[in-house]
Copies of this chain bind each other. A is one copy, B any other.
């Protein structure tokens, strides 16, 4: 298959990227990596990857370049900047950006790639870092059918769920909509459970009722019982990151003239949580931030603290 012969470049070996790149290498794809931190680079070399001293060098060595970067600024700089990836990638190449960025940035990347005859795929990542480590990430992919077919083996090496959402730009947009719901649910559940606590209701019985009606939701059912309700607020996804995503969402919605009153007010709740020192806790800990405001003790399951 042509895909397996593609030489792959991977730029950005952060907390998520290192696991993702490792899983590509484990499937024997030829891989060249780059990051400014030497540790993750060495770890990938130990798995048989080559390393390159710059994004440009990765691009020169690769047919398909994957980027997993902190945000829009880095993405624009490394891909579109002078001497960047687009200036160095081979004809017939593909750029696949998996960073979480705003739709404007994704559209600018797609347009710049199209103008040079380079394929472009936006494939932001769902789920958490430990999913990435295990090759169990979820991808929301915006790509032409041809580009999607080409990167599919890579996505399947890194993840267990791959959604082809439509053409370029739809991956980023679908992720924003998805994260909007998942993040705001934390504030919604926080309000509901702080009220239940102030009402003196039993947590287990309340959850039993909620899960039997249309009030139930993925955060309350799947994430919370293992995190804040179990007394674990170590970040699977930190409030600071959730706030950053909400900011992208509100900005994109305002650009699209879609009023999002609940999102806007929830973002301020996250801002307030950050100001009060909750920024580095798991986003389910919005429960603790809300209970702090309401003057009630945060509820916990069973013997959890």
Task: Please give, as numbers and ranges, the residues of chain B lying within 8 Å of A253 by CB-CB distance.
Answer: 195, 198, 271
The complex places the Cα of A179 from the Cα of B269 at a distance, in Å, of 21
Known: A165-B202, A271-B259. A126 touches B213 (CB 8 A): yes
- Please choose the segment from A46-54, A108-116, A143-151, A214-222 that sits at the chain B interface, where 4 or more of its residues have CB less than 8 A away: A214-222
The complex places the Cα of A247 from the Cα of B185 at a distance, in Å, of 21
- Which residue of B is nearest A182, CB measured? B215
Whether B268 contacts A261 by the Cβ 8 Å rule is yes
Whether B140 contacts A209 by the Cβ 8 Å rule is yes
- Please choose the segment from A8-16, A19-27, A91-99, A272-280 that sits at the chain B interface, where 4 or more of its residues have CB less than 8 A away: A272-280
- Which residue of B is nearest A187, CB measured? B262
- Please choose the segment from A32-40, A55-63, A64-72, A293-301 that sits at the chain B interface, where 4 or more of its residues have CB less than 8 A away: A293-301
The complex places the Cα of A223 from the Cα of B217 at a distance, in Å, of 13
**A-B contacts, 21 listed (Cβ < 8 Å):** A161-B212, A165-B206, A177-B195, A181-B192, A181-B216, A184-B262, A191-B258, A191-B263, A195-B256, A195-B258, A214-B217, A214-B223, A215-B218, A253-B271, A257-B275, A258-B296, A259-B268, A259-B269, A259-B275, A265-B265, A275-B295
